[in-house]
Structure 1
Amino acid sequence: MSSLRSQGQFALRLSAVAAGGTLLLSGCSVANSESAGGATAASSDTIRVVLSQEPPTLEACEANLTSTGVVVRSNVTEPLVERNPSTGELEPRLATEWEATSDSEWTFKLREGVTFHDGTPFNAEAAAHTIERAVNSDLGCNVEGYVFGETDLEVKIVDDTTLTVSTPEPDPILPLRLSFLEVVPASTSDTEKVREPIGTGPYKIEAWDAGQKITLAAHEDYWGEKPAYPNAEYQWRSEGTVRAAMVTSGEADIAMGLGPDDGAGDLGVNYPNNETVALRLTGDMAPLDDIRVRQAINYAIDKEGIVASLYQGKDKVAAQLVPEGIVGHNSSLEAWPYDPEKAKQLVAEAKADGVPVDTKITLVARNAQFPKVTEMSQVLQEQLAQAGLNVELKTVETSQHLQYQLRPFVTDEGPIALLIQHGNQAGDAAFTVDQYMLSDGAQSAFGTSEFDEKLKAAGKTSGEDRQKAYEDIFSYQNENIVQFAPISHQTGIIGKSDSVNYEPNSSSGDELRLSEMTPAN
């Protein structure tokens, strides 16, 4: 049965789902159409950003988390090298040169004359400490599981401006991996995480008023070009319509994470986004340990209807965890078709063979994770229930969501279908599959030893061989593992005041570089 036939009914169901929120918002007018574009725009010395949620921490080794990185990365802290989001090329930051000096060793030459916000010098000792702290220690940094897995690095200080980093096995993309490490001073604790880091970036943390706002001030001794705005201020509002209204009324200059119907109007700017939404399914608990049930979930989801009704067709139906443009994306892979009858059939077959398909599956979603997340999760619950599964929806905050997202997972709530939003900022499939598909990956719910071998072999390849190896992996996952039910590749939208010059790019949702913003007048 075609997904198009049900879009009218689908839209009606979505309207009912969203009605409560609409009624709540209709009673208070927060937008002022007459002041669109920022009639009460900020003074030219402060750039004001409104986020969808308060960061749980600004700890540098957690900066790959979207809610942390959007404030910290390249603003407060900086990496050795950075990836240009438009070209995909690696560019100098705190390192000026790097080269492979053996099959498993890379040598980095560091920038001179750089100081941290506390006045201490940046040198090889600080770079080495950052790597040891984030990758080799027991601190439990998110970046360790996301980028490096179980691999430890051997770090040697040659002199103040020279560092060598070695891997147990050849790693052709080590510099790209290191682009995820935000450098902190050698004095930073390696036994406790830091809520407010000291960095080398163009801004330093001025104050964090918990629950209210975060303010940054320009680093007077910054080694690079001075930012146009001496100050920055972050606030957060969970409702997209409120964030959009803050821009149209002049209360904010930039609003993050907007949906297509949040009301930003001409101030809403679309930008390429590499975020993918999917369900991650636990494979070691019944009934999700039966591949037929996992296949049924994929058939049960009306992805085209979700994209059309919730996102006005701006997002794209997904067949895999990475979008086009990422090394390893399989362009020939087709999305699972919407086939509710097939879904029911597979669940019935599993039940006939003794699989306890009535066992409760908890669908876990996170508040304010992305636009329309509440409506999407409610629709997913309904569609999986129509396939014959017992699904309970649980919505949690960021800190609690991480307990489901990262090892060690919550284990006392039975089988979990976790709604994830995965962004591959590095541009290489290794950063997706190593964490999400290896049996012991930081965000992987299960796998097989055979699949692990395929994944590890792919990581050692380069060039065309690398592209082909990862294409095969995404195909193999859909046919033989089915840990995921991909839903959509997202398109990002920010609200931007006319008083600000800024062109968002594919990294903007995770790394909003304030130094790229300038006053328009």
Structure 2
Amino acid sequence: MPAFPPRRRPRAPVRPVRPVRRARPVPAVLVALTLAATGCTVANSDAVSGGANGALQIVLPQEPPTLEPCESSLTATGIVVRSNITEPLIERDPTSGELKPLLATGWKVGDDGRTWTFTMRDGVRFHDGTAFDAKDAAFTIERAVGSKLGCNVDGYVFADSELKVAAPDASTLTVTTAEPDPILPLRMSFLEVVPTGTDTKNKVRKPVGTGPYRIADWDIGISLSLARSSGYWGTRPAYQAVRYVWRAENSIRAAMITSGEAGIVTGLGPEDGAGDLGVAYPNNETTALRMNGNEVPLNDVRIRRAINYAVDKEGIVQSLFLKLGEPAGQLVANGVVGHDPAIKAWPFDMARARALVAEAKAAGVPVDTPITLIARNAMFPKVAETAEVIQNALGKAGLNVKIKMLDTAAQLEYQLHPFVPDAGPVLLLIMHGNQAGDAGFTTSQYLKSDGPQSRFGTPELDRMIDEAERKTGAERERAFAAVLRHQNDHVVQYAHIAHMRGLLGISPNVRYKPDSATTDELRLADVRPAK
């Protein structure tokens, strides 16, 4: 079973931009009134709360757009679904990178390097009482990979691979790839298993899985409740019920953790008021601007390079992120196979940025063409302020940038193929987390010409990615590092901003240690009462 190196957070110097006014403490009376106005309850009420009555309340920045398992590689879905409601055949330890058995107890590859055989776990049942076997695993793959369902996991994890699957008996699954794929078991860790009979024409909102929790109730726009599955095959989780609610305002979420109403609160910032209950962790997320190089003026590489020089990454990290991160020069964080520590963040050089814009203008490039900077509400703390700082910097460089803030569903239309038609030149603020630990998952998705989240590429970069995919070990690491350098030197589709750190609010009544996967996969089985 292949293992990947643990993630380590590199350090980098920071440099301030304009000062940001610190938030004033919120008076207790105002907090109480605000909680009441938003429909929140108070601690010791009848609501599901942090460790009260055997139940746990988790507060998210936004409602999950869907619980469709084949969309669980999307953060807003995966944080609820993965390894909670549904489970994969194999799971990856986020700390060690080791692949571990889950619904599959073992796997091996044939001499041809193309056919993998997986052994299914006995005694597993879905929430509806039906028994799990190899046919369900085969069905899950065929439903999600290469189908017309349009699953995010297809493009992101499998890169539209052609797979042949078979279940010769109830305990055996075989998967054959067109070409040798040394990391197929790692890819399988992203496929959440569903039973045969699950809709293959439409994505489901309320899946049936084998996980420790089943869906009890989803009151759209209000809350999502999970109940402990009485027939779970594995270790029984500590909490009998979990209730998810969502509050877009960071200070409201922080107030819910300090008041004792919530057990866990996600997506906090250092100034939101959680105090000592805010726990920082390396979340493996990288923020960046994706530039549509097919549209004027972004189709000129001088403009794309100017944008890189104009954004003061160190200043953003210090003044807006309050040092919860470090400036980034590539789309994958340290600890991911292919990360190159020699790649540094582009230096902040406004004079160089202005010179490049002026040079492009003199060559006939219409640099005053309006560019839309799109960001997602609640993507990370101070996302709106970050967009404003970038807009201001690019304006000083000589570009005409307007901001458009969108909710998750609308932003995904810009992020994922086939994209919004006739949108003009777009700078899309993204946050990418490579939880697989291998740059192949990033490059096939974000850098290849036909990648589901890539706006353009080059034949040379596509060739380099294809060659890197076939390599293993140290050769694979070097090959993907070369891909990332080539992107920066010749393609410049991205202006990388920062490798982020997350901040999780954790009640004193709850014991949970966040790791690099927490942002995308908060495993409820790892959460326990403090007493």
Aligned residue type for 1:75:
N
Aligned residue type for 1:161:
S
Structure 2 unaligned blocks of 5 or more: 1-12, 35-41
What is the CA deviation profile of residues 189-211 of structure 1, one whole-angstrom value per residue up to 9, with x for unaligned ones?
A: 11111001000000000000011
Alignment correspondent of 1:100:
109
Secondary structure of the residue aligned to 1:61 is: helix
Please say if 1:45 is aligned against 2:54: yes
Measured after TM superposition, the shift of residue 7 of structure 1 is 3.2
Contact 1:319–1:486, Cα closer than 8 Å, also in 2: yes
Number of residue pairs matched by the alignment: 507
What is the CA deviation profile of residues 268-290 of structure 1, one whole-angstrom value per residue up to 9, with x for unaligned ones?
A: 11112100000000011110000
Alignment correspondent of 1:269:
279
User: Could you state the TM-score of these two structures normalised by the residue count of structure 1?
Assistant: 0.94
Alignment correspondent of 1:29:
31
What is the CA deviation profile of residues 254-301 of structure 1, one whole-angstrom value per residue up to 9, with x for unaligned ones?
A: 000111111111111111210000000001111000000000000000
Contact 2:15–2:314, Cα closer than 8 Å, also in 1: no
Aligned residue type for 1:194:
V
Contact 1:38–1:499, Cα closer than 8 Å, also in 2: no
Alignment correspondent of 1:147:
157
Alignment correspondent of 2:512:
502
Alignment correspondent of 1:180:
190
Please say if 1:394 is aligned against 2:414: no
Distance in 1, Cα, partners of 2:114 & 2:106: 17
Taking the TM superposition and a 5 Å limit, the aligned residue runs for 1:152-163 are 152-163=162-173
Distance in 2, Cα, partners of 1:511 & 1:445: 27
Alignment correspondent of 2:75:
66
Please say if 1:347 is aligned against 2:357: yes
Structure 2 vs 1, CA of residues 53 and 109 (structure 1 numbering), >3 Å: closer, same or farther?
same
Alignment correspondent of 1:456:
466
Q: Which of 216, 219, 232 is the equivalent residue of 1:206?
A: 216
Q: Which of 489, 507, 521 is the equivalent residue of 2:499?
A: 489
Alignment correspondent of 2:231:
221
Aligned residue type for 2:30:
C
Secondary structure of the residue aligned to 1:311 is: coil
Structure 2 vs 1, CA of residues 492 and 5 (structure 1 numbering), >3 Å: closer, same or farther?
closer
Measured after TM superposition, the shift of residue 370 of structure 1 is 1.0
Contact 2:51–2:529, Cα closer than 8 Å, also in 1: no
Distance in 2, Cα, partners of 1:5 & 1:98: 46
Secondary structure of the residue aligned to 1:120 is: coil
Alignment correspondent of 1:409:
419
What is the CA deviation profile of residues 392-425 of structure 1, one whole-angstrom value per residue up to 9, with x for unaligned ones?
A: 1001111111110000011212011000000000
Distance in 2, Cα, partners of 1:72 & 1:274: 19
Q: RMSD of aligned C-alpha atoms?
A: 2.0
Alignment correspondent of 2:333:
323
Q: Which of 269, 272, 286 is the equivalent residue of 1:259?
A: 269
Contact 1:267–1:497, Cα closer than 8 Å, also in 2: yes
Distance in 1, Cα, partners of 2:197 & 2:60: 31
Contact 1:38–1:248, Cα closer than 8 Å, also in 2: no
Secondary structure of the residue aligned to 2:305 is: helix
Aligned residue type for 2:124:
V
Contact 2:61–2:266, Cα closer than 8 Å, also in 1: yes
Alignment correspondent of 2:449:
439
What is the CA deviation profile of residues 439-487 of structure 1, one whole-angstrom value per residue up to 9, with x for unaligned ones?
A: 0000001001111010000000000001100111111100000000000
Measured after TM superposition, the shift of residue 149 of structure 1 is 1.7
What is the CA deviation profile of residues 226-279 of structure 1, one whole-angstrom value per residue up to 9, with x for unaligned ones?
A: 001010000001111111110110110000011111111111111121000000
Contact 2:292–2:299, Cα closer than 8 Å, also in 1: yes
Aligned residue type for 1:459:
E
Measured after TM superposition, the shift of residue 80 of structure 1 is 0.4
Contact 1:31–1:246, Cα closer than 8 Å, also in 2: no
Structure 1 unaligned blocks of 5 or more: none
Distance in 1, Cα, partners of 2:15 & 2:101: 51
Alignment correspondent of 1:375:
385
Q: Which of 233, 244, 255 is the equivalent residue of 1:234?
A: 244
What is the CA deviation profile of residues 162-207 of structure 1, one whole-angstrom value per residue up to 9, with x for unaligned ones?
A: 0000111111000101110100000101111100100000000000
Alignment correspondent of 2:8:
none
What is the CA deviation profile of residues 20-64 of structure 1, one whole-angstrom value per residue up to 9, with x for unaligned ones?
A: xx89999932499xxxx9777542411110001000000000001
Identity, in percent, stands at 54
Distance in 2, Cα, partners of 1:96 & 1:42: 33
